[in-house]
Amino acid sequence: MGFYQLNQDDSCIFSGATEEDSFFVEKGLFLEQKDSKIAFDLVLLQENSLVGLSAPTNFSFQVLGAISEQESETKKEEKKEIIEYVVESGENISSIAQKFNISKETIIWANNLNPKSSLKVGQKLIILPVSGILHYVKSGETLSQIAKIYQASYSEIVSFNELTNENDIRAGDMLIVPNGKKPNITFGNTNQKSQIPQSAQLPQIPLADSYFICPITPPCKITQGLHWNNAVDFSNGKCGSPIYAAAQGQILKVKYGYNYGAGNYLTILHPNNVITFYGHLQTILVKEGDVVSQGQIVALMGGKPGMSESGISTGCHLHFGVQGAENPFAK
C-alpha cells in the first residue's frame, strides 16, 4: 500500500510504487493527468484484451451536479484515510494533533509513545482519521467486547467501520474505535504492556526465513520498506499480474471497496496463526473459507493511479502485511 506523506507546508509526497507507473502527477493533495491533451479510446487489459472507452461530449447541469456530489462523497471518504505523517522541524505531539484535528492521546496510542516523548525530524507517525484507537481483532472477539474494552460506543464502531453486525469482523481485521480510550495504562511503567488486556495485543510468533515465498511474479522488487501495519510494498510494474499465497492457509476475509485506502483486499490465516494481508487488488480469485496452498494464485495486482477500487496509489503494487509475526521481507 502506498502512502501520502504530508509535510508541514501541506505539500504531498507519495511513497510506494514508482512515478513511471502513473499517468498522473501530484499537485498538492490532488492527482493531475500528466498530459491533458491525451485522450484514450482503447485500453489494453492484461496485454491481451482491448476495451473501448467513450466519454460524453456535452454536459448538462444535472451531470455536473452529479459529478460534484461524487466529489463530495470522495472527500468524505478521504477523511477516513489512515496516513503516515513525516515529522517536520519544530513540531511536537500537540501541534500535529491540532493539525489533524485529533487528540494528542490518539497519536500517542497509535505510535506507542508517551506524553513526554520528543519527536525527531523525519520520524514517521501513524495518523488516524478520527480521535480514538486502532485495534487488531483477535479470534473469538466480538464488537461488544471491543466497545467495552475501550469504553467506546458500539454503534459508532459499527458506523465508522461500515459494519453490519457482530459476524462482520474476522481475526486480523483492523478496526478504528472512535473516541476509544486506552485501558489500564500507567505511562512510564516499564511493564506497561502487561496492563493492556490480552485482546488488545498481537502475539509475536517466530518464523523460519523460508516460511513465506515472494507473493508476486519476479522481479520481486520491494518499492517501499517497512511501514505501518507491519507491511512492505512489492511491485513488478505489471498491473493485473498474479498475486500468490505466501504460505499455505485459509482465506479469512475478502473485502471490496476503498477500505481506508487499502482498496480491495484479502487476508490469509496460516497454520501457525499468523495472518497475511494482501491490499490494492485488481481482482480477487478466492472466497472466504477457501483453503489455499503456498504459491496458489489468489488475486491479480491492482493499484491504478488515483483513488479507485484499488485504494489510493500512484501505480500497481501489492501491500503485503504480516500480523502476529515480524515481516521477513523487511529484513
Beta bridge partners of 263: none
CA–CA distance, 201 with 47 (Å, rounded to integer): 44
pTM attached to this predicted model: 0.62
For residue 64, pLDDT over 60 is answered with no
Residue percentage of the chain with pLDDT more than 70 = 65
Computed on alpha carbons and rounded to an integer, the radius of gyration of the chain in Å comes to: 21
CA–CA distance, 20 with 306 (Å, rounded to integer): 14
Summarised one tens digit per residue, pLDDT across range 84-134 is 889 999 999 999 999 999 999 999 998 888 888 899 999 989 899 999 998
Question: How sure is the predictor about 46, in pLDDT bands with cuts at 50, 70 and 90?
Answer: very low
Topology (CATH) of 221-330: Glucose Permease (Domain IIA) (2.70.70)
Summarised one tens digit per residue, pLDDT across range 172-229 is 888 899 999 988 644 444 343 333 343 344 557 889 888 999 999 999 999 988 887 7
Cis peptide before 219 (omega within 30 of 0): yes
Is it true that 130-202 and 221-330 share their CATH fold? no
CATH number (3.40.50.1860, 3.40.1410.10, 2.60.40.10, 3.10.350.10) of 130-202 reads 3.10.350.10
Higher pLDDT, 23 or 147: 147
| CB of 169 closer than 8 Å to CB of 137 | yes
CA–CA distance, 285 with 162 (Å, rounded to integer): 23
Position 203 scores a pLDDT of 55
Segments making up each domain of the chain, as ranges: 130-202, 221-330
How many helices (H) and strands (E) the chain has is answered by 5, 22
Position 166 scores a pLDDT of 77
